[in-house]
Amino acid sequence: MVGQRQSTNRMQPTQNVGTRRNQEGLNLVAKRLDGKAIASQVRSEIAEKAIKFLAREGMKPHLAAVLVGDDPASQIYVKNKRLACEKTGLESSLHLLPATTSQSNLLETVERLNADPSVNGILVQFPLPKSCSEREVVLAIDPLKDVDAFHPYTVGLIVDGTPRFLPCTPAGIQQILIREKIETAGKEVVIVGRSHLVGRPLSIMLSQKGPHADATVTVCHSRTPNLEQHCRRADILIAAIGRPEAITGSMIKPGAVVIDVGINRLADGRVVGDVEFESAVQVASAITPVPGGVGPMTIAMLLENTLKAAALQHGEKFN
């Protein structure tokens, strides 16, 4: 799978964020799974590979971003992705289209980037204006340049167990587990959320046979009865429902690992996850913070996919 090589670089130690007591009454330390530090490590590895790719091929891996309209959040996301490219030694380009862009004009832009041999990865920032179909745009992207891993062909390879690219957020979560040496084989994993972006692909990745997988996975959603009962079974609990602080400490099995995918801005300006951090940290053995947990890893894995796309398009193997 993409990006599963264990690194020899030293990471900053995880930060203690609270204590809890086990059945024997001993204090145990809950760990902060620092996605920011892990993402920095991943980007350093990518930067080294990008230098070698440039020396071999005479070009930098190139990510082309397409932004339709002037949505402030989308502008920030694209800016952060482009900055990450520059810091890692990848080339990036931005293709701005007005909010009034027609579906046909957007598809023409995608086709032009498909045909451009200097472009290795294509990212169309969602959401799109209502006049444009996200589904049609996804289908239009060349699967060899599908670095978001949304195309049905890409998804099919994941289901088959022979992935070309892994979706960025699920891949980032898997890398956190790998690099923090959190075992998944034989573990109960509960994913709260069934979106095609996170819940569904991650359930496939973690339940497959092989290293860093082999888990027993349950996917819960808005129609799941007795959600708390399912959550309290989990050795690894992954929250990806887009509801602020929906998962509380009472829903977590003592000693479980908690991965919080959510990013929610409250009316008072605070940014929180889908997990109520203060109560969860008293129960979990390890937890990702928000911000600074899964988010930085999502961008890091986008860069990894772009580098892999460049290698594959030049007939190289990617390790």
Asked whether residue 19 is assigned to any structural domain, the reply reads: no
- 81 tagged catalytic: yes
Q: Specify the CATH number for the domain of residue 224.
A: 3.40.50.720
Residue 75 lies in a domain: yes
In a domain, 13, yes or no: no
Q: Where are the beta strands (DSSP E) in the chain?
A: 15-21, 27-32, 62-68, 91-97, 121-124, 188-192, 216-220, 236-239, 257-260, 264-265, 271-272, 286-287
The answer to whether residue 226 is domain-embedded is yes
Domain final position from 115, 145, 175: 145
pLDDT at 10 > cutoff 50: no
Indicate the number of domains in the chain: 2
The reply to whether 114 and 171 lie within a common domain is: no
Looking at per-residue confidence, does 25 or 134 come out higher?
134
Query: Is residue 48 domain-resident?
Result: no
Of the candidates 34, 142, 146, 148, the residue annotated as catalytic is 148
Q: Are both 85 and 178 inside the same structural domain?
A: no
Give the CATH number of the domain where residue 74 resides: 3.40.50.10860
257 secondary structure, DSSP code: E
Catalytic residue among 31, 125, 235, 253: 125
**Residue 187 shares a structural domain with residue 282:** yes
* pLDDT over 50 (residue 244): yes
Residue 23 belongs to some domain of the structure: no
Q: Same structural domain for residues 201 and 81?
A: no
Q: In the structure, what pLDDT confidence band is assigned to residue 179 with cuts at 50, 70 and 90?
A: very high
Confidence of residue 16 (pLDDT cuts 50, 70, 90): very low
pLDDT at 30: 77
Q: How far, in Å, CA of 302 to CA of 171, rounded?
A: 9
Inform me whether the pLDDT recorded for 280 exceeds 50.
yes
pLDDT tens-digit series, residues 114-144? 999 999 999 999 999 999 999 999 999 999 9
In a domain, 89, yes or no: yes
pTM: 0.90
Question: Is 60 assigned a catalytic role?
Answer: no
Residues 88 and 183 in one domain: no
* Contact indicator for 271, 264 with CB cutoff of 8 Å: yes
Among candidate residues 31, 49, 60, 81, the one labeled active-site is 81
Average pLDDT, the chain: 92
248 and 137 share one domain: no
Does residue 137 sit in the same domain as residue 198? no
Tokens of residue 261, six digits: 């995918």
What confidence tier does 272 reach under pLDDT thresholds 50, 70, 90? very high
For residues 37 and 282, what is the distance between their CA atoms, to the nearest angstrom?
23
- From 112, 145, 178, give the residue that closes a domain: 145
Q: 207 and 112 share a domain?
A: no
Same domain (yes/no): 283, 192:
yes
Is residue 79 part of the annotated active site? The answer reads no
Q: Are residues 141 and 187 in the same domain?
A: no
Domain membership of residue 211 (yes or no) is yes
Residues 6+ apart with CB under 8 A from 176: 33, 35, 38, 182, 259, 288, 293, 294, 297
20 pLDDT higher than 70: no
Both 69 and 174 in a single domain? Answer: no
- Whether residue 238 is predicted with pLDDT greater than 50 in this model: the reply is yes
Dist CA 38 CA 46 (whole Å): 12
Domain that holds residue 184: 167-295
Q: Are residues 258 and 196 in the same domain?
A: yes
Per-residue pLDDT band for 317 (boundaries 50, 70, 90) equals confident
